[in-house]
A = this chain, B = another copy of it.
Amino acid sequence: MSLRKALLVVCDGMGDRVEREYGGETPLGIAKTPTLDRLAASGYVGLMDPVSPGIRPGSDYATTALLGYDPSIYYTGRGGLEAAGAGIDLKPGEVAFRCNFSTVDDSLTVIDRRAGRIEKGTTDLAETIREIKPRGVKGLRIDFRATVAHRGVLILKGKGLSRMVSDVDPHDNGVKILRCEPLDDSSAAKRTAAVVNSIVTQSFRIMRDHPVNLARVKEGKRPANIILPRGAGTLPGFKTLHELYDMKVACIAAVALVKGVCRIAGAELVNVEGATGGLDTNYEGKAWAAVKALENHDLTLLHVKATDVASHDGDFQKKASVIEKIDSALGKIMPSLNSESTYVIVTADHSTPVSVRDHSGNPVPLLISGPGVPSSGVSKFSENAVSRGNLGRLHGLDLMRIIADYLGKAKKLGF
């Protein structure tokens, strides 16, 4: 038997609800997808609830499930995943926050949550932020890293910290920044909230007159004069897929949160030029990178964000056209995958109906094709068509176990 491999394609938010004006179909249903249709017909197809029927997951929560970790146990907030996605390994007990470099006025009202979508100078600003000493707390150190554009990660290191604290980022412009509040009665949460508030206040004081910002103001740009932490998180305590299944995994994704979950699961992150996480991403480049990654990995997770972007835009046709680009890219690489030994699995991490413009609890379509998999005979890959497929209705947690089994990596329970 040849060595088996699996390519898992996750189209972010691809699942949708039907629209009457499109003949009771979804974007996937109207998209021309010859490659996906061929894979669907020759493989298993069905519906999958990423978490459980009706549950609305974020991509981080859902990806945790798709990788085989029960998110009701292992999801420990955005911050830890975001940090991992930026290549920062949290240690147990440390608390990380996703941060924006933002612009506020003197009353701490948010002028621009993204500081004019600042691109340069954030590394210098980060260096200054790292020097902040939170007031009235001993034995606590902070780290801060600029990541992509206006984004950064704040890490608190020390004893007695908690992720149960609220966001400082008000998630909107034109309103005052929020106070970080404890979300439970623990002294750790109270202490953490006090530390965060002290850091935010000091960040404003040291950032507003920073040379990077003086230069930006001179150029008519908005200064990055504060950091706004949100999404406190700790390291999820899960074993890697290598530890669990002896599986070498690669992850090709542009979204930091998805990269973060995969990295903590032990995946090697593969960067692809032109992979933007946007509608203009390098679809084919990512697909070819997946082919290459499969050469020395058992499983490659290829995540495409563009489907979700079109969904949040509420654009049915655009979403269909993104799906066609994914299909086309997969069509290009398919001849380079050994069909005798390679499984191709295509699904979504959650539904983002264009009619809702946000994540929903609807199930997602799933296809699994490869050696030994029965032919569904279902000639179109769509939510409607696969609902009468040969796979029934699965949970997201089932997927990694099924993949591990086909790869010959599943451990037998009992004798």
Residues of A at the B interface (CB closer than 8 Å) are: 1, 17-19, 24, 46-47, 51-62, 64, 71, 75, 78, 231, 257, 353, 355-356, 358-362, 372-375, 383-384, 387-388, 390-395, 398-405, 408, 410-415
Contacts and interface: CB of A to CB of B under 8 A. Distances in A.
B413 A257 contact: no
Contact of A373 (B17, B358, B405): B17
B391 A390 contact: no
Nearest to A394: B53
Given A17-B372, A18-B372, A24-B374, A58 B361 contact: no
B54 A412 contact: no
- Within the oligomer, what is the number of copies of this chain? 2
19 contacts: A18-B374, A51-B413, A54-B400, A54-B402, A54-B405, A58-B414, A60-B414, A75-B413, A257-B415, A353-B372, A359-B412, A360-B405, A360-B410, A361-B410, A375-B384, A387-B390, A387-B392, A388-B390, A391-B393
Nearest to A410: B56
B404 A54 contact: yes
Given A54-B398, A61-B413, A387-B392, 15 more contacts: A17-B373, A18-B372, A53-B394, A54-B400, A54-B401, A55-B405, A55-B410, A56-B413, A57-B412, A57-B413, A58-B412, A59-B414, A62-B414, A361-B405, A375-B384
Nearest to A408: B356
A415 B82 CA distance: 11
A54 B75 CA distance: 22
Given A56-B410, A387-B391, A390-B388, A231 B415 contact: yes
A52 B401 contact: yes
Nearest to A401: B54
Contacts of A411: 56
Nearest to A64: B414
Contacts of A392: 46-47, 387, 392-393
6 residue pairs, one from A and one from B, having the closest CB atoms: A61-B414, A54-B401, A58-B414, A392-B393, A17-B372, A361-B405
Contacts of A54: 398-405, 410
A279 B277 CA distance: 57
Contacts of A359: 412
Contacts of A361: 401-402, 404-405, 410
Contacts of A410: 54-56, 360-361
A413 B53 contact: no
Nearest to A384: B374
Question: Which of the listed residues A60, A358, A412, A415 has the most CB atoms from chain B within 10 Å of its own CB?
Answer: A415
Select the residue from A361, A362, A394 with max chain B CB neighbours within 10 A. Answer: A361
Contacts of A56: 405, 410-413
A71 B415 CA distance: 13
Contacts of A257: 415
A356 to B, nearest CB: 7
A301 B374 CA distance: 30
Contacts of A57: 412-414
A201 to B, nearest CB: 26
A245 to B, nearest CB: 11
B362 A414 contact: no
Nearest to A374: B18
A52 B391 contact: no
Nearest to A75: B414
Most B CB within 10 A of own CB, among A24, A59, A411: A24
A160 to B, nearest CB: 26
